[in-house]
Amino acid sequence: MILSVMHPFIEFGFMRRALVACIALSLSATPLGIFLLLRRMSLVGDALSHAVLPGAAAGYLISGLSLVAMGTGGVIAGLSVALLSGAVSRCTPLREDASFAGFYLGSLALGVTLVSLRGSSVDLLHVLFGSLLAVDNPSIILVSGIAAGSLLILAVIYRPLVIDAFDPTFLRAQNRWTAPLVHGIFLILVVINLVAGFQVLGTLMCVGLMMLPAAAARFWSIRLPGTLAAAMVLAVVASFSGLMGSFYLSLPAGPAVVLSAAVLFFISILFGPCGGLFRSRGRFSGGKEKA
């Protein structure tokens, strides 16, 4: 049975490359999703995933399906939207979430328009939904490098990032420059990981692997280190099961991975030991019976 499960990854190189790329994203993107949830910025990840589209589309118009050009354009566009949204929210009465919404909707429309100017509907689908099974060695090197760098930087800023998530006033009282610096580095990490995910899962799917395991992990641990570990494990499980489903059921690989993450999210809601619906009912019923 183990051989039948592992057969696609033993037999086919494209399945192995897809799995390696997904595992790298699982280890680097999901911790960022945890901190987005802690900072009540869960929808910002979705906004930034759309914000990278015009930059990637501009790179596509200039160099075709070039990994370097589209990735560089995506980073520039994503960081521009993040900085502009933050500036607008600080200088005007508009809240940051509304500012992000306005910029990302405009970015999404601009990106689709740019791709449509030169490419076909197939090219547009490739940019929006990715091509997970077509991941090549340069893409794996890029994604793995981004994952390793992200984990290293996250380890460096971990303590101030945790303080900023739970008690930002205390962090600002210690040093008024620390909080904006940590926030800026954090947004840069989110954008870079979304660009790495865009190379694999597309702009519309990459945020799913970042946020769904992070949200599901809340039901498996009440401590932050345990939540981070649970999110990574859930993301790896979703990647493996999604690729298996895409191989045996002839499903598109990227959406299958995100759909697997969504299934794990709903399972966590129902059966998670830390607040799952059925576990909560069981404790309540047990307490009532004892009373």
- Number of structural domains (the chain) is 1
CATH number at residue 30: 1.10.3470.10
Structure tokens at 269: 């809601």
Q: Are 108 and 53 contacting, i.e. CB atoms less than 8 angstroms apart?
A: yes
In whole angstroms, what is the distance from residue 97 CA to residue 45 CA? 11
Q: Dihedral (C-alpha) 86, 201, 58, 60: value to the nearest 10 degrees?
A: 170
Residue 215 pLDDT: 92
| Global confidence as pTM | 0.83
Note down the domain range covering 121: 2-290
Q: Given this model, what pLDDT does residue 288 score?
A: 43
Instruction: Give the pLDDT score at 290.
Output: 41
So what's the pLDDT on residue 234? 95
d(C-alpha 278, C-alpha 270), whole Å: 6
pLDDT of 175: 73
Please list the pLDDT of the chain residue by residue as tens digits (291 residues).
666 678 888 888 888 888 999 999 999 999 999 998 888 777 777 777 777 888 877 887 777 666 677 778 888 888 888 788 777 777 777 776 677 778 778 887 887 787 777 655 555 666 666 677 778 888 888 889 989 999 999 999 999 898 888 877 777 777 777 778 888 888 889 888 888 887 777 766 788 888 999 999 999 998 999 999 999 999 999 999 999 988 888 888 888 999 999 999 999 999 989 888 887 655 544 444 343
Angle, to 10 degrees, between the axis of helix 224-249 and the axis of helix 13-38?
A: 140
